[in-house]
Chains A and B, each alone.
Chain A
Amino acid sequence: MSAPRRGGPARMEPAELEAFLAEPRWAGLCLEDEQGRLRAVPAWIAGGHVQGDVEVTVPAGALPAMDPAPACLVADRFESYVGIRGAILRGRLRPAEAGDEQWRLTVAKAHGFSFANTTVSL
């Protein structure tokens, strides 16, 4: 359970983050393309983990074939204000198989946040 605090969102405990990532969901994926520009696309996470690799599926044609690159995956759920949960995973993205839809993010940094115990002091 995340600790109560005033102001902004609390950091998720590792077990909470693991449970959040285990739920399949769409997320936002961003990397730097070969021209050095940020490029963001939707990505489906079938179920991820804090440690290790997260397999993601992007719509066909959304990402060009490219060498492994630093990337960030942002997954969140916003059904109510106190129900806001999210995860920010950063690491290195590489193709998981032939084609342009299956990718693998090797997670180097994982951060989860929760508004569950946040006082609305903003």
Chain B
Amino acid sequence: MSAALPPDVAAQLDGHRDITLFCRDADGHPIGYPMMISSRDGADIVFSTYRKSAKVRHIERDPRVALLSFTAAPAPDGGELVRWISMTGTAAVWQPTEAELDRVFPPAPRTADGRVPDTVGPLVRQRTLEGKRILLRVRLDEPDAVRIEEGRR
């Protein structure tokens, strides 16, 4: 297990799995993708994606990434409050064995997401074992320093 994150950061990431992954395109400029966290182990965050996706090519060329998790809600006095976690890290493309996949993407998902059909999880596992999908594992920089920030508009 990698280093631990502050408890409030870990709770937000585990409770809100939507996140944006940013890497660099062929010109070295930022490019981003909405993702869903598949699993988290300390400061290692794992995603599933297509093996042939553009993001995989970008990350193989330059593994430095940024991640952004945020939630927004109406403020009591008008406007909106936004809470976010901005992180950087290094990504690795990972073709897991079945045993490794069992650990990070269990056959029975630990956290159901009502937005995703039940058929998706088993298909993702199957496609990963077939090599059509892979995992991206991001190890966060300076996990002790990751914090939740707040602002408003």
Q: Which residues of A does B touch, CB under 8 Å?
A: 8, 26, 28, 30-32, 37-42, 44, 57-62, 70-74, 76, 78-81, 84, 86, 88, 90, 120-122
Contact = CB atoms under 8 A, between A and B. Distances in A.
A26 B34 contact: no
A38 B70 contact: no
Nearest to B120: A120
Given A88-B31, A88-B32, A122-B123, A40 B68 contact: yes
Listed residue (B32, B65, B82, B124) with the most chain A CB atoms within 10 angstroms of its CB: B32
Given A26-B72, A120-B123, A32 B116 contact: no
Given A81-B116, A81-B117, A74 B34 contact: yes
A42 B82 contact: yes
SS class of chain B's interface: helix, strand, loop or mixed? Answer: strand
A32 B68 CA distance: 14
Given A26-B72, A72-B32, A74-B32, 8 more contacts: A28-B70, A38-B64, A40-B22, A40-B68, A72-B31, A86-B34, A120-B120, A122-B123
B101 to A, nearest CB: 14
B88 A44 contact: no
Contacts of B88: 37-39
Interface in B36-87: 50, 53, 64-68, 70, 72, 80, 82, 84, 86-87
A8 B50 CA distance: 9
Interface stretch (B92-100, B104-112, B145-153): B145-153
Contact of A71 (B30, B86, B133): B30
Range for the number of chain B residues in contact with chain A: 35 or more
Given A40-B20, A90-B31, A78 B115 contact: yes
Contacts of A80: 115
A78 B72 CA distance: 14
Contacts of B103: none
Nearest to A111: B31
Given A121-B123, A122-B123, A122-B127, A78 B34 contact: yes
Q: Give the 7 A-B residue pairs with the shortest CB-CB distance, closest first.
A: A59-B151, A28-B20, A38-B66, A40-B68, A70-B29, A74-B32, A30-B22
Given A28-B22, A122-B120, A42 B68 contact: yes
Contacts of B30: 30-32, 38, 70-72, 90
Given A28-B68, A81-B115, A81-B116, A41 B84 contact: yes
